[in-house]
């Protein structure tokens, strides 16, 4: 089974991964070595701290061997085609975890030849972040249904995954507060809204931070400059300034916990008072990347 997008997961797969990830979080010893004898490739063409470490440790804990490739390690750099590289890797590896700045077509090319391909972030979506977020919510609230989430910041690949993930579970209400010109792709927004309508929830987008819902359970942001990207407008920071998560913004949602996919830039996307404050579970969220990665790997190789 591949996980190139959250769309690749059926409802049963998604629910299983969330429950299993939460079980690993609550009982780190509750696993055997179901991947014993497997060899997993971990290829990251872009920087990563949490996701690369999470999947490497997850594979090792589940009994697999790991081969890690950095951005300069493959013959792609000398002109070999991705298809030829995929044929070689697919003939030797049992699966591969990939981070790329490219389009999803690159991952689909790998999937034509590799038994298992897991998207550890691409330009359009960060599905394993979405799965880690669901695991975090399950551990924190004991459920991933009937939650109210406010996402503040750019409609980037993390926001895409969050919208597609939350919309799959009953009664979730997501408000995206994005700077003008930096919202979710309209097609993705329409898709998430359609999913939410079928599950009795909602996904809405606004381009301001006024009138935040006081009953929100979660306030979530990401760094302003998404990993591996740049913005063509030299004055883009002016559009983002009102969307910084500071104490005043968080206090507008007095019962909410704070999430951040990290890395964070204190003073830009979030203030130190919020990120390091008592309502922040961002670093717990980062730790759950490991538990979620273990669940994803176990499901893909089941």
| pLDDT for position 228 | 63
Instruction: At 58, list the tokens.
Output: 């997850």
Query: In this structure, is residue 229 part of a structural domain?
Result: yes
* Residues 213-222: tens digit of each pLDDT: 999 999 999 9
Q: Model's pTM, two decimal places?
A: 0.95
Q: Which residue has the higher pLDDT, 1 or 128?
A: 128
Claim to verify: residue 101 and residue 235 sit in the same structural domain: no
Claim to verify: residue 180 and residue 249 sit in the same structural domain: yes
Query: In this structure, is residue 1 part of a structural domain?
Result: no
Claim to verify: residue 215 and residue 174 sit in the same structural domain: yes
Claim to verify: residue 100 and residue 134 sit in the same structural domain: no
**Residue 29: band (very low, low, confident or very high) from pLDDT cuts 50, 70, 90:** confident
Claim to verify: residue 227 and residue 262 sit in the same structural domain: yes
| 263 preceded by a cis bond (ω within 30 of 0) | yes
Paired with 63 in beta bridges are: none
Q: What gap in Å lies between CA 177 and CA 221, rounded to an integer?
A: 10
Listed in sequence order, the residues at least 6 apart from 93 whose beta carbon sits closer than 8 Å to its beta carbon are 39, 40, 41, 67, 114, 115
Q: Cβ(152)–Cβ(245) under 8 Å?
A: yes
Claim to verify: residue 215 and residue 271 sit in the same structural domain: yes
| pLDDT for position 250 | 98
How many independent structural domains does the chain possess? Answer: 2
* Residues 169-207: tens digit of each pLDDT: 999 999 999 999 999 999 999 999 999 999 999 999 999
* Residues 209-242: tens digit of each pLDDT: 999 999 999 999 999 987 667 788 889 999 999 9
Claim to verify: residue 216 and residue 279 sit in the same structural domain: yes
| Closest to 160 (Cα-Cα) out of 198, 197, 121, 199 | 121
**In CATH, what number is assigned to the domain containing residue 268?**
3.40.50.1370
């Amino acid at each position: 089974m591949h996980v190139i997008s959250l769309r690749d997961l059926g409802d049963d797969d998604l629910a299983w991964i969330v429950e299993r990830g939460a079980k690993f979080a609550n009982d780190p010893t509750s696993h055997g070595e179901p991947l014993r004898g497997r060899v997993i490739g971990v290829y990251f063409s872009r920087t990563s701290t949490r996701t690369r470490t999470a999947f490497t440790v997850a594979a090792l804990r589940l009994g697999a061997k790991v081969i890690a490739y950095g951005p300069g390690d493959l013959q792609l750099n000398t002109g070999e085609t991705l298809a030829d590289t995929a044929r070689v890797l697919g003939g030797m590896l049992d699966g591969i975890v990939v981070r790329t700045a490219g389009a999803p077509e690159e991952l689909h090319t790998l999937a034509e030849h590799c038994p298992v391909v897991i998207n550890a972030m691409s330009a359009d979506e960060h599905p394993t972040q979405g799965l880690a977020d669901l695991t975090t919510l399950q551990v924190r609230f004991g459920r991933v249904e009937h939650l109210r989430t406010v996402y503040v910041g750019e409609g980037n690949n993390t926001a895409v995954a969050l919208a597609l993930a939350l919309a799959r579970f009953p009664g979730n209400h997501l408000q995206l507060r994005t700077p003008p010109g930096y919202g979710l792709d309209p097609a993705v927004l329409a898709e998430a809204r359609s999913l939410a309508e079928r599950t009795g929830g909602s996904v809405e987008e606004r381009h301001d931070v006024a009138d935040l819902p006081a009953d929100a359970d979660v306030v979530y942001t990401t760094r302003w400059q998404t990993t591996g990207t740049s913005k063509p407008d030299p004055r883009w920071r002016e559009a983002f300034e009102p969307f910084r998560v500071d104490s005043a913004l968080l206090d507008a949602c007095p019962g909410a916990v704070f999430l951040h996919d990290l890395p964070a830039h204190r003073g830009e996307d979030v203030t130190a008072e919020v990120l390091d404050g008592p309502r922040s579970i961002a670093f717990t969220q980062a730790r759950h990347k490991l538990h979620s990665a273990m669940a994803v790997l176990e499901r893909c190789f089941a």
